[in-house]
Structure 1
Amino acid sequence: MKGVVGKASMSKKRVAIIGAGPSGMAQLRAFESAEKKGQEIPELVCFEKQDDWGGQWNYSWRTGTDHYGEPVHSSMYRNLWSNGPKEILEFAEYTFDEHFGKPISSYPPREVLWDYINGRAEQSDVKKYVKFAHAVRWVDFDEGTKLFTVRVENLRTGETTSDTYDNVIVAAGHFNFPNIPHFEGIETFPGQVMHAHEFRGAETLADKDILLIGASYSAEDIGSQAYKMGARSITYSYRTKPMGHGWPEEMEELPLVERFEGSTAHFKNGEKRDFDAVILCTGYKHHYPFLPSSLALESPNNIYPDTLYRGVVSEKNNQLFWLGSQDQWLTFNMFDAQAWYARDVILGRIELPTAEEQRAHMDQWLERFNAMEDEFDQIDFQCDYVKDLIEQTDYPMFDLDEVAKIQRQWLQSKKDDIMNFRDATYTSVITGTKAAEHHTPWMLELDDSLERYLSEPDEDEARQVFRGQIREGQAR
């Protein structure tokens, strides 16, 4: 039930938010929104181990460990572009039109999306709540006092401190601890072996034969980048089923690798190929080294982790909240919906049901989750989930049925033309603005900077030929 905004006093709670990526930023924005409407809010502290906010979108050239010796969080690479339309992730209360002042394309590059989420956060006065370069080392809960103790290290000084909080919100993400399977003989492979988490650019893959193990979005995108940057061949190795796109002739899909012998990979169907580099696109694990097992989320990566009431409230401890712990068809706006819900529980505007009622509610969603058959079912599931969350709060509702429609069109566009689907345009469900066609087709655009993206370069013949506006023989 929606809470009533007012000036009703509350005991001054203390809330710790772990992570200042898109989810943590959403949580800060949610509390600020309530405060602007006259609601007293708790004392907030957000701990972020990086030097700036943005989470995954805070790109780093580093791999392995950062300059503080901490595991590098971001899995972003230099020339990453959004692999889904921006119209499915747009904030309902801060639009792309508002930020950029003009229509932009449906598939912005990494730097442009970071500018968008940073712009919303900078518009508000929430950075004051963030302690940067502070890594949470341990969180414990005292059943007697009903308080969390959060132990934190200041990475710049090495000082470690502890403090107590009424609530903890985990917004640390779950796409930063790579799942790395073993393949027989891979230790004999003489070329480069890396996980997608360490991938930073495809330029070095030019004129090389590349093996990508995995059949999901990381493999699809890194393979496309490698092709764009001139790789000689790209082979995808799938465990369950091929992606089945209409790949160029330089790209193929084969069953899972059985073993390596030097630079040769042997596949389950008896085929073998020689490669120069292997990239493991094998996903990520939920990994929360700062939490005891009594509090940590234990789940495979999926769109409805069990033990989270409404996908947000820990069944183990209703004072503990999780943001963005699902696999994601929606991203930024789903984080908003979750953050607004967590906020209203903490503010007492939403009263949680009994443990039994929470379990029954989760089981209803799990029954639907377990009955899903395809990607369209997953899209409908998550859009309905977000709609259900928004209905509990004052977050602006938007047309999630239309968002689901755009997602279906997006999937179809990839089946139609996997290498050029980013040239399609969609209409914002928030503003009704039709996306602009980017000045350069994605396959020809080698500069993904914000400056280049927002510029208006002169038309050239290469772009005209690519779009079929003139024939190649007609170009001068």
Structure 2
Amino acid sequence: MKMQVAVIGAGASGLAAARHLLESPRGHSVTVFERGDQLGGTWVFTEKTGLDVDGRPVHSSMYRSLETNLPKEVMAFPDYPFPEGEQSYLPAGDVLKYLNAYADHFGLRHCIKFRQHVERVQPRGSVWEVSTTNVDTAEVTTYQFDSVMVCSGHYWKEKRPQLRGSREFRGRQSHAHNYRRPDAYRGRRVLLIGSGPSGMDLALEVASVAQQVILSHHLDKSIGHLFPSNVIEKPDVTSITETGANFRDGTFCEVDDICYCTGYSYSFPFLTPDCGVQVEADEVHPLLMHVVSVERPTLAFIGLPFIVCPFALFDLQSRFFVAVLDGRCSLPDTDTLRRDAEAERRRRREEGIRPHYLGREQVPYLNRLADLAGAQRLPPVVFKLFETVAFRLYEDLANYRRHNFRIVDNETFQEIA
């Protein structure tokens, strides 16, 4: 049976969802709701921070100089490679061009409604009610759909630690979500908290203009050799004062600015409580395969896992869910789904694995998705290259993006000097 399906967000995951819905043998009807005026999601750069012109939070966390931290050879959708070229690590603008080309190649633009902010998603019997507001006119429209795919991303809701004394600090405090360029830190003493990819990039970039950068992290080993001499490492912050920060090693440093590079929380404020999922800072549950709502299997989330080959993940998750909608992939009864979902949550807790973290588990996970969807598995070379490069930023932060790669065959890649 042909379904009416709502896709929330026209970033990379939303485009993959729309494509596979349209390509289904059942020819589903697709409406993509996008708050911005163009497709691309997080890859669309804006100087705006804080609140947008409509009074709602700016979703983009893109900074001006951002380049991919994975090579294009592992970032691409499985059957739609990036344009040929020697450069493997790409500026954000090239990724945006790629997504626009993908949308045009698969004829997706006609089903995207731009400048539509999704206010509410609520189940009404066997259908879903979706209410949106036109960002420009404030007109509210309510639609009904048979299914909803949530593709709105999870890199916008700031996660900040609750540090004693932070309200007393006299300097500026911000989150990496609002970072665009280093100019504001010129000549200042800056504390960066967190050493994920954004924390590492910002430390290197801010150090080019700042008097001093203090990078607080809890990595097992020192990473000071990756930075210029005006960057010093410190362990976790224990408290903030009016003029600086105390650290776990008993030291204190005076700082002018604090920037929290502490990641993001999952947040889908448009979902009503009766949607059947619990959205917590670090987890959305109960879900089957990180995708399908156990309680309401016509609701799906695309793109929750991290430390993955991103666009391949979006592609295979979308293929899997469309197979569920089509009936090509049959789900067990709800009680079995609940037991399986809870067993997976328990396993992760016992093994100390964060709820949607994949890393090396992505190989069996993506293969399982492909099998359930009746799709082709990713060639092993993609995973081999991912394993080779995923954490190179901690080895040679300033230079790792200068390396280039070429896929030779399904098993082999070459590194080009």
**TM-score w.r.t. structure 1 length?**
0.80
Aligned-pair CA distance for 1:418: 2.5
Please give the alpha-carbon distance, in whole angstroms, between the structure 2 residues aligned to 1:430 and 1:13.
39
Residue 245 of structure 2 corresponds to which residue in structure 1?
A: 265
**TM-score w.r.t. structure 2 length?**
0.90
Q: Deviations over 1:211-233 (max 9, x none)?
A: 11123222112112223x33332
Q: Which amino acid aligns with 2:400?
A: F
Residue 244 in structure 1 maps to residue 222 in structure 2: yes
Picking from 51, 70, 83, the partner of 2:69 is: 83
Residue 172 of structure 1 corresponds to which residue in structure 2?
A: 152
Residue 464 of structure 1 corresponds to which residue in structure 2?
A: none
Whose radius of gyration is greater, 1 or 2? 1
| 1:137-216 aligned within 5 A | 137-143=119-125, 146-216=126-196
Please give the alpha-carbon distance, in whole angstroms, between the structure 2 residues aligned to 1:225 and 1:85.
20
Residue 50 of structure 1 corresponds to which residue in structure 2?
A: 36
Residue 298 of structure 1 corresponds to which residue in structure 2?
A: 279
Picking from 35, 51, 69, the partner of 1:65 is: 51
Aligned-pair CA distance for 1:183: 2.7
Residue 29 in structure 1 maps to residue 19 in structure 2: yes
In structure 2, do the counterparts of structure 1 residues 388 and 421 end up closer, same or farther at CA, with 3 Å as the change threshold? same
Aligned-pair CA distance for 1:76: 0.6
In structure 2, do the counterparts of structure 1 residues 95 and 371 end up closer, same or farther at CA, with 3 Å as the change threshold? farther
Contact 1:47–1:132 (CA under 8 A) maintained in structure 2: yes
Residue 413 in structure 1 maps to residue 392 in structure 2: yes
Aligned-pair CA distance for 1:93: 0.9
Q: Deviations over 1:61-102 (max 9, x none)?
A: 100122222211111110011122222222111102xxx2x3
Q: Deviations over 1:298-337 (max 9, x none)?
A: 24436xx541112110012111111112223221110010
Residue 349 of structure 1 corresponds to which residue in structure 2?
A: 328
Structure 2: 5+ residue stretches without partners: none
Please give the alpha-carbon distance, in whole angstroms, between the structure 2 residues aligned to 1:207 and 1:261.
21
In structure 2, do the counterparts of structure 1 residues 429 and 311 end up closer, same or farther at CA, with 3 Å as the change threshold? farther
Aligned-pair CA distance for 1:358: 2.4
Residue 459 of structure 1 corresponds to which residue in structure 2?
A: none
Aligned-pair CA distance for 1:434: 5.1
Q: Deviations over 1:236-263 (max 9, x none)?
A: 223x445632333332321222233333
Please give the alpha-carbon distance, in whole angstroms, between the structure 1 residues aligned to 2:252 and 2:198.
23
In structure 2, do the counterparts of structure 1 residues 409 and 244 end up closer, same or farther at CA, with 3 Å as the change threshold? farther
Q: Deviations over 1:415-454 (max 9, x none)?
A: 43232211222333778775766xxxxxxxxxxxxxxxxx
Aligned-pair CA distance for 1:394: 4.5
| 1:77-476 aligned within 5 A | 77-96=63-82, 100=83, 102-143=84-125, 146-227=126-207, 229-238=208-217, 240-242=218-220, 244-245=222-223, 246-248=225-227, 249-295=229-275, 296-301=277-282, 306-363=285-342, 365-366=344-345, 369-370=348-349, 372=351, 378-399=358-379, 401-411=380-390, 413-428=392-407
Aligned-pair CA distance for 1:141: 0.9
In structure 2, do the counterparts of structure 1 residues 299 and 86 end up closer, same or farther at CA, with 3 Å as the change threshold? farther
User: How many corresponding residue pairs?
Assistant: 411
Please give the alpha-carbon distance, in whole angstroms, between the structure 2 residues aligned to 1:58 and 1:188.
35
In structure 2, do the counterparts of structure 1 residues 194 and 220 end up closer, same or farther at CA, with 3 Å as the change threshold? same
Contact 1:48–1:135 (CA under 8 A) maintained in structure 2: yes
Contact 1:369–1:381 (CA under 8 A) maintained in structure 2: no
Contact 1:398–1:429 (CA under 8 A) maintained in structure 2: no
Please give the alpha-carbon distance, in whole angstroms, between the structure 1 residues aligned to 2:409 and 2:313.
14
User: What's the secondary structure of 1:183's corresponding residue?
Assistant: coil
Q: Which moved more, 1:410-419 or 1:315-324?
A: 410-419
Q: C-alpha root-mean-square deviation of aligned residues, in Å?
A: 2.5
Aligned-pair CA distance for 1:59: 1.3
Q: Runs (4+) of structure 1 moved beyond 6 Å?
A: 429-433
Q: Which amino acid aligns with 2:328?
A: R
User: What's the secondary structure of 1:392's corresponding residue?
Assistant: helix
Please give the alpha-carbon distance, in whole angstroms, between the structure 1 residues aligned to 2:409 and 2:366.
15
User: What's the secondary structure of 2:336's corresponding residue?
Assistant: helix
Identity %: 28
Contact 2:70–2:390 (CA under 8 A) maintained in structure 1: no
In structure 2, do the counterparts of structure 1 residues 126 and 430 end up closer, same or farther at CA, with 3 Å as the change threshold? farther
Q: Which amino acid aligns with 1:351?
A: S
Q: Deviations over 1:179-208 (max 9, x none)?
A: 133433333433321111111112333333
Please give the alpha-carbon distance, in whole angstroms, between the structure 2 residues aligned to 1:312 and 1:412.
26
